[in-house]
Amino acid sequence: MSETAMVPTALLESIPYCRLMGMKVVADGEGLILELPFTQQLIGNPVLPALHGGVIGSLLETAALAQVVHELACVRLPKPVDMVIDYLRSGRALTSFARALIVKRGRRTVNVHAQMWQEDETRPIAALRGHVLLQR
C-alpha cells in the first residue's frame, strides 16, 4: 500500500488552531498563500488594536509547513527544528496573508523563509526563518 502526499487544505483542516482562526490556503503561480481573515478573537492589544504575536507566529509557521508539504509532496508532516520570527510592525485589524519559500533543501532538513503582510506584500508585518525535519 503506497502513501499519498498530504494536501495543504487537508493539513489546515486537521490542525485545530488553524480551523479556529479560520486560515485558508490559496495556490497562485508562485506557490501557496495563506489567508487569515480578521476576527476580534485574534486581537492581542485592544488599545491599538493589534494582532496577538502568537497569531502572527502561528500563521507564519503554518505557511512554512504548508509550503514544504506542497512543494515536496510530503507524506508526513515535517517537524519544526528551529524557527525565528522577526516582528517588524503591528498587525492591524485587517485580513492577513503569508507566503513561504524553500531556500535550501537537504536530504533530511529544509531551510524555509516566510513573510506575513496585510494590504501590501512589499510591507511585511513579520518574517520567519526556520528549519524543518522531513519525516520518512
Residue 130, classed as helix, strand or coil, is: strand
Residue ranges of the domains in the chain?
8-133
pLDDT reading at 5 higher than 80: no
Say if residue 2's pLDDT is above 60. Answer: no
Q: Which of 76, 72, 86 lies closest to 114 in space, CA to CA?
A: 86
Q: Is the pLDDT of residue 37 over 90?
A: yes
Amino acid making up residue 10: A
Cα 61–81–123 angle (5° rounding)? 35
What pLDDT does 7 receive? 79
For the chain, give the percent of residues with pLDDT over 70: 96
Instruction: Give the global pTM.
Output: 0.92
Which is higher by pLDDT, 16 or 8?
16
Does residue 43 have a pLDDT over 70?
A: yes
Residue 36 has pLDDT above 70, yes or no: yes
pLDDT tens per residue, range 75-125? 888 999 999 999 999 999 999 999 999 999 999 999 999 999 999 999 999
Domain 8-133 belongs to what architecture?
Roll (3.10)
- pLDDT at site 1: 36
- Closest to 67 in 3D by CA, of 30, 22, 117: 30
The reported pLDDT for the residue numbered 4 is 67
